[in-house]
Amino acid sequence: MERLEGMNRIEWATQTQQPVSTKMALFAKIKNYASLVRFSHTIFALPFAFASITLAWPKHPVTWRELLWIVVAMIGARTAAMGFNRLADRKFDALNPRTDQWELPKGTVKVWEAGLLTAAAALIFVFAAYQLNWLCFVLSPVALAVIFFYSLTKRFTWASHLFLGLALSLAPIGAWLAVANSPIDLRELFVPLYLGLAVVFWLAGFDIIYSLQDREFDHAQGLSSIPVRFGVAGALHLSSIFHLCTIAFLAAVGLTAQLGVIYWIGCIAVSAVLLWEHCIVRPDDLSRINRAFFDLNAYVSIGYFLVTLADVAVTYGAGIG
């Protein structure tokens, strides 16, 4: 009898532990997927999309439904882009000591899983674009082609950083087109185009800094980048020039959209953060690359959105309709 009761207790414990372990395994898998596509890096593109929506508000009030589908489209596009990038670069990631413990080389995410995630995210992006308006839907395959093409550019051009910037610049441009669904005055398009160009050079500038970590590896593998082509000092110099272009295009946004004092104070703050970024990464000291890459550029994207929102709210009294 005691033996039977003991067996029953063991069986009960096993049964109660199974759901817990299943939930933990599911949580771990979701965590691996999020890490695979660097979900936290959405913080770079999403605030600029929100800033673009804010700039469109005075003439094109946005609804909560549009805002929801813009966020879905953004997450879908970025997940598809990162998934494709990881698949395209998995051979190099497995050889690179900095990346050999990433999900695909390590095997915590299978190749077929990454492929399925990428395809699903691309379909979600196209569906979200369809929910927004016909123009966004028609342009969605073009956008996917652009963001997928970036992953191949390191194989043949040192200007791959600019292609990455181009891919990210689709966020503010696409967000503007998503809300400006009435006949569009072409003169209005200068605002999102200037903002898109600011994003191109901002992203390319800090991607150059980030890629300094892989300069020797890229050179050995025959991959192209600005650090490989121009060296550390030359790469940092070009990064500085790109960020000066960013400031110039943000100023063009302010002038074209006729923004006020809050916006210009924000532009000065963005300039200061970018200057700080270049002060902490020097040819003789690359130890703070990760801080320059994530922390400071998160300040730029979120800060720019907040000051743009504040300025438009004060200047135009914009609100969500």
At residue 319, the pLDDT reads: 44
Q: Which residue shows structure tokens 């992203």? A: 203
Q: Please give the distance of CA 231 from its chain centroid, rounded to a whole number.
A: 26
pLDDT value, residue 270? 96
- pLDDT by residue for the chain (321 residues), tens only, comes to 545 455 555 554 555 555 657 767 667 667 777 777 676 667 788 999 999 999 999 888 899 999 999 999 999 999 999 999 999 999 999 999 998 988 888 888 899 999 999 999 999 999 999 999 999 999 999 999 999 999 999 999 999 999 999 999 999 999 999 998 666 677 788 999 999 999 999 999 999 999 999 999 999 999 999 999 999 999 999 999 999 999 999 999 999 999 999 999 999 999 999 999 988 888 887 777 877 667 788 899 999 999 999 999 998 764 444
Whether 9 maps to a domain, the answer reads no
Whether 153 maps to a domain, the answer reads: yes
Distance CA 135, CA 67 (A): 16
pLDDT at 61 (0 to 100): 87
Residue 120 buriedness (CB in 10 A; 0-12 / 13-18 / 19+): middle
What confidence score (pLDDT) does residue 318 get?
44
pTM for the full model?
Answer: 0.88
With contact defined as beta carbons under 8 Å apart, do 62 and 177 qualify?
Answer: no
Let me know if residue 4 belongs to a domain: no
Largest pairwise CA distance in the chain? 87
Query: Quick check: is 13 in a domain?
Result: no
107 occurs within a structural domain: yes
Helices (H), 37-153: 42-56, 64-88, 90-95, 103-106, 111-132, 134-153
CA-based torsion, 10, 14, 20, 25: positive or negative? positive
Evaluate whether residue 10 is within a structural domain.
no
CATH number at residue 52: 1.10.357.140
- Please tell me the distance from the alpha carbon of residue 22 to that of residue 36, in angstroms, as a whole number: 21
CA dihedral 204, 41, 249, 144 (to 10 degrees): 80
Residue 165 lies in a domain: yes
Residue 219 lies in a domain: yes
Domain that holds residue 189: 43-315
Domains in the chain: how many in total?
1
